[in-house]
Homo-oligomer: A and B are copies of this chain.
């Protein structure tokens, strides 16, 4: 492939949205999830995020970035009010509805109602799950880290409740989220299915990694 090499400073004359599209594409494929919350007064909220990252397995921590933006403010306010939220993978059947949650609905409108996605409560977990999501989990808020460089906030929480399709769990604990039809995204607005190349064995010096056979639990 013939490559263009360009200094960021040479993009200064690009229109701001065009530059944002390119910069948003560079980080690679991303997690794309719906975060469900509820206010103290019982108003539910649902918003799409593409910045969820695994932070650690012990304790089981996940993080996501929240922008200083009115669309995402309800998610932040509800998490700070109640301490709980859900993270829900999206799939092909609901990705257009998921995308639509990023529209600027008034505060009194629940994105569940506006998009036709169904809320569901699991066990005694406080925050609403997305019924149409195949993989989802409930999270307890732990820490907020404000990033002064650009006014974003890193929200960190601990995984409390996990919901997944029974036939997607492998014997070694690996959850096959491709089999569960989870999607990935790139840039600001591009949604993708996946095709596994392989799982690779734990890397050791001077031994070539080999492919791990997928062994699902019965």
Contacts and interface: CB of A to CB of B under 8 A. Distances in A.
A28 B167 CA distance: 17
Contacts of A208: 96, 100
A13 interface: no
A201 interface: yes
A1 B177 CA distance: 13
Contacts of A177: 25, 28-29, 186-187
One complex includes copies of this chain to the number of 2
What is the predominant secondary structure among interface residues of chain A facing chain B?
mixed
Interface string A129-166: 00000110100001101010110101010111111111
B54 A30 contact: yes
Interface residues of A, number: 119
Contacts of A17: 172-173
Given A143-B149, A149-B156, 19 more contacts: A1-B166, A3-B166, A8-B161, A22-B175, A23-B54, A25-B176, A26-B54, A27-B62, A29-B30, A29-B32, A29-B177, A56-B67, A96-B200, A99-B209, A145-B154, A154-B154, A183-B197, A184-B184, A184-B192
A105 B201 CA distance: 16
Contacts of A104: 204-205
Nearest to A212: B189
Interface in A187-218: 187-205, 207-209, 212
